[in-house]
Structure 1
Amino acid sequence: MPVHYPFSAVLGCQADDLDDMGLALVLTTISPEIGGVLVRGEKGTAKSTAVRGLAAVLPSISVYAGDRFSIDPADPSAESPDGPFGSAAVVESRPVRLVELPVGATEDRVVGSLHLESALSRGAVEFEPGLLARAHRGLLYVDEVNLLHDHLVDLLLDAAAMGRVSVERDGVSVEHAARFVLIGTMNPEEGELRPQLLDRFGLTVEVAAPRDPSLRAEVVRRRMAFDLDAPAFVERYVAAERDLTARISAARALVGKVRLTAPGLLKIAEVCAAFEVDGLRADIVTARTAVAHAAWAGRSEVTRADIRRAALLALPHRRRRNPFDAPGLDEDLLDRILGDEELPPEPPEGGPSDGSDSEDSVGPDTPPPSGSGGSTDAEPPSVEPASEASGVETNTADDAPDQAQSPSGVAPESVTAAAPAYRPRLLTVTGLGTGRTGGRSKAIGSSGRRIGANTSTRGSLHLVETLKAAAGKQAARPRTSAKVELRIEDLRTAVREGREANLVLFCVDASGSMAARKRMAQVKAAVLSLLLDAYRRRDKVGMITFRGEGAELVLPPTGSVDLAAARLDEVPAGGRTPLAEGLLEAARVLQREHLRDPDLRPLLVVVTDGRANSKAHGKEAVRRSQQAAAYVAGLGVTTVVIDSESGPMRLGLARQLAEHLGAEHVPVAEVSAEALTSAVHGFTGSTMGRGAA
């Protein structure tokens, strides 16, 4: 067996000195009903090391020998598909399992499926348990959970919430217990988890590498000692691991006896209401976490300190209002709500129980919840259009000609905030791809509607096509019984058409002709809306801006749409318009990304008014831009030109650019899905009117 780095050797994971990550992991093992932990942090912060070390400090469990579903022999209500087990069944003790779920796992592997060997060799329908069955009463660990397919994340979180898995597929009908601690780790730079899925994790913590040189040196010292002699290093922490195991066992025995008083529950509700979290899951998780924390501390009653620590772990990821807002919690507001006094005792039976007379109720200095006419310090910042009072330098004209703002003939730089985002129209890549599952373009993948079958060994079994393939070969095969003889070459797997994620590369004109406040705000709103759309569809995004003397890749292609939104907000406008350089830089990025991942199909979005003005003036600049457009068109990339030109005098240069690129031309005002719907309704209405006439 591999030797894992001890949990107690990770900084912040000692029993008497747990940091947020260590505490969240321990609490969710004390009370699995909390719903699991999501650990967010940059690479190299011991996320995976701590999770793998956690399994070793958990108390062993008792199981029936040979039971693949690991039910508890001490629970008379527990049932296993491998059972029933009589009084003579052998009971054995084994360590808690840590089951790791690969990012590329299929649904069959996760929930289980038909046992193919039994079906083909004996004609018997048997169930092959999946990873969820193996993880029962243990830990299920998903590294890079933000890269997991959405339908698998849904499945995992539903199983974690319900504690059971029902399988109805391939002629198999099985239900079994799946009570596990779900732990996910992720690097936000690789992309965010969907808000609706993020909420399903009970607790979340942010981790970062220590900035103290002495702590960093200690981490390196321990790691080198472990790599040099792992058994000797592990031996040094045996006592600490044993103490941690004993304390977890004691907390598990105590957690069912901890009292959460009515004043304590009311205080939890006040905290959740003040932070304007959606739904009641936050209240439930905070209450369970506070009880587990009290048990961990050896107390039989929840205190103010337990509620505070629970809120810091359970609420930050539930109060996000925008996918691009960083999670966090205003601790000053939290302390004001909790007050300085300890929780009052339980009111006597028959007395007031609404907490209205409690000294710990929200005081006059506490901001009222949403809808009461007040506001809180915890309100996330919103993105609004820049104004003269915002402190952001902008042009005062609604629109302005190129090179009219400075004596040198080049527009000065200015920064304009985006107008509010909206729901954009869907832009897709033409054709049928084979990339990873997403929500943008049509693709052949592991999910979606079934459109056929093939002989590939990857994918879900297509039973009908398998039987059809075998039926035509029965006459040539020796018949030993009346059953249909199936062989490996008869197997057919389903071909499914679904949706894939794409690389969306933005090439944004940030020159002087775009610097007018209204125009740039409108352009940024369109790009921001498309970024939000890419976030929901699990796309990879990149951004190029061109202005002045050249083009710059301000954001290399990444899964973190948050970074793209931040870069967009910082983009200044001003200077000449090197359109050719922008297109050529886009071509270089697309070619490089194709070498890295040929299955990731790109969508190039060029945002410009079509003007070309660089060191090469006049006709030469136009000629170079046309040559660059022809070169990009030769790459065969699906391209969309978003035309930012506005005003009564329009030159139509962006439309001409779209023709050279072989691209779709979309005026910026029509990026909105609502605008497109209105235009369609207007067209069909006028057509019907002419027909009626």
Structure 2
Amino acid sequence: MPAHYPFSAVVTSGDDDPMATALVLTTISPAIGGVLVRGEKGTAKSTIVRALAAVLPPIDVVAGDRFSSDPADPAPRSPDGPFGPEVGVETRPVRLVELPVGATEDRVLGSLHLERALSEGSAEYEPGLLARAHRGILYVDEVNLLHDHLVDLLLDAAAMGSSTVERDGVSVVHDARFVLVGTMNPEEGELRPQLLDRFGLTVEVAAPRDPARRVEVVRRRLAHDADPDGFAASYAEAEAALTARILAARGAVDHVVLSDTALLRIAEICAAFEVDGMRADIVLARAAVAHAAWHGRDRVARPDIRAAAILALPHRRRRNPFDAPGLDTELLDRLLDGFEPDPPEPDPEPPTGGDDGDGGGDTPTGGSDGPEGPDGSGDPAADVPSPGGSAADRPGGADGSDGSDGGGTGHEGEPAPAPGAPRDAEAPAGPGAASATTVGAGTPYTPRLFTVAGTGTGEAGRRSRAVTAAGRRTGARRHEPGAGGGVDLGETIRAAVPHQWARGRRPGGRLRLGTDDLRVATRVGQEANLVLFCVDASGSMAARRRMEQVKTAILSLLLDAYQRRDKVGLVTFGGDSADLVLPPTGSVDVAATRLAELPAGGRTPLAEGLLLADRVLARERVRDPRRRPLLVVVTDGRATAGADPVARSRRVAAHLAEQGTAGVVVDCEAGPFRLGLAGVLAQHLRAEHVPIAEVSATALTSAVKERVA
């Protein structure tokens, strides 16, 4: 197997690297609660997480124990125990356990060992991924795409240090202490704020903009791909030094003094940033202690609190998905003014030969003629990150999981105004559209719930009724190979009972089961839907109040869709064409930004808007055939662009109706004289027609929410 990309081979900017720092701190003190890494694709999120396991000190485990119990633990919670003094000890590397996005609850928690239950009639527990990850790293790539109930399981286990399994006739409690690391691309959807708060630390990463550093990233990537073993060997000394430093910090963390003055300052910082609850205070204190141990200090000092706050607080300040992540560092520095003077920095030689935030250059690849490290040593690991400040560059993912061969990390700039915030700026929409105006949305509100009629089979969500892997049990069905679902022991036994005599069972004998007897529970839960907005952005909609109300309603539905795990798309038509402003997505941040920039003006190409909506829905049916869509057309019904625009738009509407597209037409026609064109369009679309005198945000939301497909 080719050697992995070394952790110490990352290219840094000279300042401390937040991503690597956060990962190191959680390995020093796992009680911090894990790390969430947010960033664009190609920023080596997966690469550095996988490389982390290789620099962690090996661990001792009880020989033969499937749950990696610590021999020094006087009372390990292991279903394979108890262990006597004669049981041996094994030393092995720390495991990196990857949790696939499509994993089932059975795979995560463990469940009944089906093979032995069917062949031997014994109820034996088969460990899941949480058991395998005990005392290691549990890595979830694209954690934002993982279903909420699985994320809850992971975070609860990470917080409690144990996993409790009560299912399928099995009752088991085992230790599950691990470092939880999640990575995500915000463009593909957000995590709920409640889940964000359960991650101890979070970092924002972005690709570098400095060409010199990008060159160094590519150079190292190519060097590794050409000779993985040789490249890893050139960093072996730096990796060993980093391992020793982590081991020393782990031994020192329990002896670091966290004074009452430091605790009071931590509480003042959390109160000033208005974070909810007490979890932020606890995490910040633990991270500051780990940071001090990492730097060889025996007391928590100002740099430790500052670095910990930058990692522990930004994601806890988000009140809703439209809030920009980030932290006001000027306010943080003011809150830290007057804190006890920084103690003299210890002067041990850093194990990796790197700087601790005083600047420096990039580290050369093995075998290249790059510049020396910032301390002039030329150590290839000279920029191993330490806690603190700005972003750092990184190589591309060694396994290609990030979709790029290069990338970088870094803090984002100053927090931008929340997408969707009211704006009064007017700007042209493009060439030939000088009269177009851009109006901002008002404050979003909580809309009422709407559901699609019937029972679907789509992806689990929080909206419409559907048959899903999780939910209320309604019955049982025969097990199908490859299909998920928990075993229904009662129904399995009932299916086997009529065949016992034919299978040779006699009174007092063991129950004889066959594969055809296996039954799994049928559960009804909730599914996620696709809501596609087709919005008229022509001149007739350009009235400031009208467009503001439309945007406010859509923004509110976006927020609701985010909370219910729906996908939302936005098609607009105006001028001479239609545009797919927002392809179907779960990312409310991107959706709100696109909506805020939506202009209005020009003619009304209604047919083009409906045609584009039809193409989007057709593509989504192929991509995700189980997700049921709802088309929401917001228009006054006028069609003024193209040849025979009225007849053409009605033909397209009839075609959509033939495809079985569920829809609602919101009539935006205003004024004393009305043509009723939107009502006619609704008839051809076979959609519900909602006539309103004005585009009221409340009325629009109510119309969409109450629509039954």
> TM-score, normalised on structure 2?
0.84
Q: 413-422 or 310-319, which moves further after superposition?
A: 413-422
CA contact (8 A) 1:608 1:654 kept: yes
Cross-structure match for 2:601: 574
Partner amino acid for 1:440?
R
Equivalent residues in 2 for 1:3-22, closer than 5 Å: 3-12=3-12, 18-22=16-20
Residue 253 of structure 1 and its aligned partner are, at CA, apart by: 0.5
Q: Post-superposition shift, 1:597?
A: 2.5
3-state DSSP of counterpart to 1:84 = coil
Distance in 1 of aligned mates of 2:614 and 2:196: 36
Question: Is contact 1:425–1:672 with CA below 8 Å preserved after alignment?
Answer: no
Instruction: Give the aligned partner of residue 359 of structure 1.
Output: none
Q: 2:439 aligns with which of 416, 421, 429?
A: 416
Partner of 2:236: 238
| Conserved? CA contact 2:574–2:600, under 8 Å | yes
Task: Please give the secondary structure, in 2, of the residue aligned with 1:328.
Answer: coil
Tell me the residue number matched to 2:661. 637
Q: How big is the shift at 1:669?
A: 3.8
Q: Percent identity?
A: 67
Distance 1:11 1:441, change over 3 A: same
Where does residue 284 of structure 1 map in the other structure? 282
Instruction: Tell me which residue corresponds to 1:209.
Output: 207
Task: Look up the match of 2:679.
Answer: 655
What whole-Å deviation, never above 9, does each CA across 1:296-326 have from its counterpart, x for those lacking one?
0000001111111011000111111220222
CA distance in 1, matches of 2:221, 2:416: 41
3-state secondary structure, aligned to 1:333: helix
Task: Look up the match of 1:592.
Answer: 619
| Residue 539 (structure 1) aligned with residue 566 (structure 2) | yes
Instruction: Confirm or deny that 1:606 pairs with 2:633.
Output: yes
Please state how far the C-alpha of 1:671 moved relative to its aligned partner. Answer: 4.9
Q: State how many pairs are aligned.
A: 627
For the residue of structure 2 that corresponds to 1:166, the secondary structure is strand
For 1:473 and 1:657, how far apart are their aligned partners in 2?
A: 61
Given the alignment of the two structures, is residue 148 of structure 1 paired with residue 172 of structure 2, yes or no?
no
CA distance change for structure 1 residues 18 and 419 in 2, over 3 Å: closer, same or farther? closer
User: How far has the Cα of 1:440 moved from its partner?
Assistant: 2.3
Are 1:138 and 2:139 matched, yes or no? Answer: no
1:525 alignment counterpart: 552
Q: Give 1:53 deviation, angstroms.
A: 0.6
* Counterpart position of 1:374: none
Deviations 1:447-505 (A, max 9, x none): 11222322224221122221222123234322266332111111111222222222222
Q: Following the alignment from structure 1 to structure 2, what is the Cα–Cα distance between the partners of residues 81 and 380?
A: 52
Equivalent of 2:468, from 442, 445, 466? Answer: 445
2:560 is the alignment partner of 1:562: no
Q: Given residue 9 of structure 2, which amino acid in structure 1 is its aligned partner?
A: A
Equivalent position to 1:497, from 517, 520, 524: 524
Q: Within 2, Cα distance between the matches of 1:216 and 1:606? A: 45
- Cα distance in 2 between the residues matched to 1:299 and 1:344: 11
RMSD: 2.6
Matching residue within 604, 617, 622 for 2:646: 622
Q: Does 1:464 align with 2:490?
A: yes
Q: What secondary structure, in the 3-state scheme, does the structure 1 residue paired with 2:255 have?
A: coil
* CA shift in 2, pair 1:333/1:322, >3 Å: same
**CA displacement, residues 344-394 of structure 1 (integer Å, 9 cap, x when unaligned):** 99xxxxxxxxxxxxxxxxxxxxxxxxxxxxxxx9896585545xxx55579
CA contact (8 A) 1:114 1:125 kept: yes
Over 3 Å counting, the alpha-carbon distance change for 1:563 and 1:679 in structure 2 is closer
Deviation sequence 1:100-123 (CA, Å, 0-9, x none)? 001011111111111112222222
Tell me the amino acid that sits aligned with residue 60 of structure 1: P
Could you list the per-position Cα deviations for residues 30-49 of structure 1 after superposition, in whole angstroms to 9, with x for gaps in the alignment?
00010000011111111100
Distance 1:234 1:677 in 2: 57
CA distance in structure 2 between the partners assigned to 1:340 and 1:380 by the alignment? 31
Change (3 A) 1:255 1:417: same
Cα deviation, residue 180, structure 1: 0.6
Partner of 1:183: 181
CA contact 2:665–2:678 (8 Å) conserved in 1: yes
Q: Which of 456-465 and 48-57 deviates more?
A: 456-465
1:578: how far off?
Answer: 1.2
Task: Provide the secondary structure at the position in 2 that maps to 1:256.
Answer: helix
C-alpha displacement at 1:677, in angstroms?
A: 13
Post-superposition offset of 1:527: 0.7
In 2, are the aligned partners of 1:5 and 1:234 still within 8 Å (CA)? yes
> In structure 2, what residue type is equivalent to 1:474?
Q
Q: TM-score when scaled to structure 1?
A: 0.86
CA distance in 2, matches of 1:226, 1:46: 14
Distance (whole Å) between structure 2 residues aligned to residue 411 and residue 238 of structure 1: 61
From 51, 66, 69, the equivalent of 1:68 is 66
Please say if 1:36 is aligned against 2:62.
no
Q: What SS class does the counterpart of residue 523 from structure 2 fall into?
A: strand
* Paired residues of 1:669 and 1:675 also in contact (CA < 8 A): no
- Corresponding residue number in structure 2 for 1:195: 193
Tell me, in whole angstroms, the C-alpha distance in 1 between the residues paired with 2:420 and 2:592. 11
Quote the Cα distance in structure 2 between the aligned partners of 1:382 and 1:55.
38
CA contact (8 A) 1:610 1:653 kept: yes
Tell me which residue corresponds to 1:219: 217
TM-aligned CA distance change 1:411 to 1:576, over 3 Å: farther
Alpha-carbon distance between aligned partners in 1 of 2:121 and 2:43, rounded to the nearest angstrom: 50
Q: 1:649 to 1:636 in 2, by over 3 A?
A: same
The 1:136–1:550 alpha-carbon spacing in structure 2 relative to 1, beyond 3 Å, is same
Deviation at 1:221, TM superposition (A): 1.6
Q: Distance in 2 between matches of 1:472 and 1:29?
A: 55
Go from structure 1 to structure 2 and tell me whether the alpha carbon gap of 1:293 and 1:511 turns closer, same or farther (over 3 Å shift): same
Pick the aligned partner of 1:476 from 494, 502, 506.
Answer: 502
Residue equivalent to 1:331: 329
Letter in 2 for 1:641: V
The structure showing larger relative contact order (alpha-carbon pairs under 8 Å, at least 6 residues apart) is 2
Q: 1:542 to 1:452 in 2, by over 3 A?
A: same
Unpaired stretches in structure 1, ≥5 consecutive residues: 346-376, 395-407, 681-693
Question: d(CA) in 1 for partners of 2:311 and 2:520?
Answer: 44
Give the 3 Å change call, closer, same or farther, for CA 133–43 of structure 1 in structure 2.
same
CA contact 2:46–2:183 (8 Å) conserved in 1: yes
Q: In the superposition, relative to structure 1, how do residues 32 and 468 fare at CA in structure 2: closer, same or farther (>3 Å)?
A: same
Superposed, which structure 2 residues align to 1:321-360 within 5 Å?
Answer: 321-339=319-337, 342-343=340-341
Q: Give the 3 Å change call, closer, same or farther, for CA 2–641 of structure 1 in structure 2.
A: farther
Amino acid paired to 2:599 = P
Deviation at 1:411, TM superposition (A): 10
